[in-house]
Amino acid sequence: MTTGEDVPPERRGPLTGPLTGLLVADFSRVVAGPFATMLLGDFGAEVVKVERPDGGDDSRAYGPPFADGISSYFRSVNRNKRSVTWDLATPRGRALALELARRADVVVENFRPGTAERLGIGYEQVAQANERVVYCSVSGFGARGPGANLAGYDFLAQGVGGLMSVTGDAEGGPLKVGVAVVDVLTAQFALAGILAALHERERSGKGQKIEVNLLSCLLSALANQASTYVTTGRVPNRMGNRHPSIAPYETLRAKDRPFVVAAANDRQFGALCRVVDAGWMANDVRFASNAARVVNRVELVEALETALSARPADEWIEALRAVGIPCGQVNDIGEAFAFAEELGLAPVVRIEDAAARPVPPYEASASNQVRNPILFSRTPVSYRSGPPHLGEHATAVEAELES
């Protein structure tokens, strides 16, 4: 097991990241915890993923689709990790887990509250042997109180946390977001807490425990919608693609299809009106200010779509972008990757032989990974290895721990 300057070149990748030298013990599964630990791995940390011998991380079975025997779901949040399979119900498994945690800079777990303590790897037990450990616990609804007994899944959190109530058409029923967005948000909050604790450790020399839960992270991420409720008492409703406080900030129908228009201030709205040959709208008292446009949204959209019906969406997008109006087509995921490629963002990397290279997104491969979106000027993100097969590194890691 390596720490500090001791990282072998073959696991550093061609470039080292800002967290090179840190060891992460990953006892988490599914999305929120694994996404956070993958990001730590992207930044250079060595991540050891501890899985059950009987199938491993639940998300390994979340498919189809599968690629090279590994589900796309698992692949999305588990690169740059080494996998070990330990039965934590056995004395040897618990001993190995505690030894890993004892050596780790960061421990991440999302067991049911109380389980880590029963297994001998709770925060107090680990900190007794490793006072510098930064220990992050991820739960669904909090580690104490009634929420501790509730299973934490993204879909459930979207429902009980209010997100589904503001997602979907006003005339339709509540809808979940098309990705496990609460898990992803929780991973980001966990990462922020871990990095803050690591920074504080540089001053104090001591680690600490961090707790995050899906529900609290979602309520925080509801941002303006949550603020509307806590400051005014008004409960937001579903509005489809419309924005509750900005107009026009939605999809508008052109001659052939809808496209996205995000005219977020009066200057942009005035330019929009001139381009669509409806300059009168910018001076109409119903539309002259954003607040007025929000109140008179039905009339606003009707007038704009009448003007937009004269030309296809692609022509309007070109004309509106030329004067600085944020707008674009509604892409599917393939088109979104192609658009990012056109912009030179290189959204896909291919991990082969401990190296990574950019590839066009349409060249499907089991070696493809979505690029980490963060760019460092001196210590770049690295892509050292693809998602591991179950227990792939058990022998090597156990030998390191027992040496």
Q: Catalytic residue numbers?
A: 183
What 3-state DSSP class applies to 303?
helix
Residue among 41, 29, 25, 213 at smallest CA distance from 135: 25
Q: Which two tokens stand for residue 138?
A: 């991820």
Residue among 146, 151, 190, 156 at smallest CA distance from 40: 190
Q: How many residues does the chain have?
A: 403
What 3-state DSSP class applies to 202?
helix
- Among the residues of 233-289, which ranges form H helices? 266-275
The DSSP bridge partners found for residue 259 are 252
Q: Which two tokens stand for residue 129?
A: 């042997």
Rg from Cα positions in the chain: 25
Question: Is the CB of residue 132 less than 8 Å from the CB of residue 105?
Answer: yes
What 3-state DSSP class applies to 151?
coil
Residue among 280, 355, 301 at smallest CA distance from 11: 355
Question: Is the CB of residue 153 less than 8 Å from the CB of residue 227?
Answer: no
CB atoms within 10 A of CB 55: 11
Place of tokens 């040959």: 277
Query: Could you say which DSSP state residue 42 is in?
Result: H
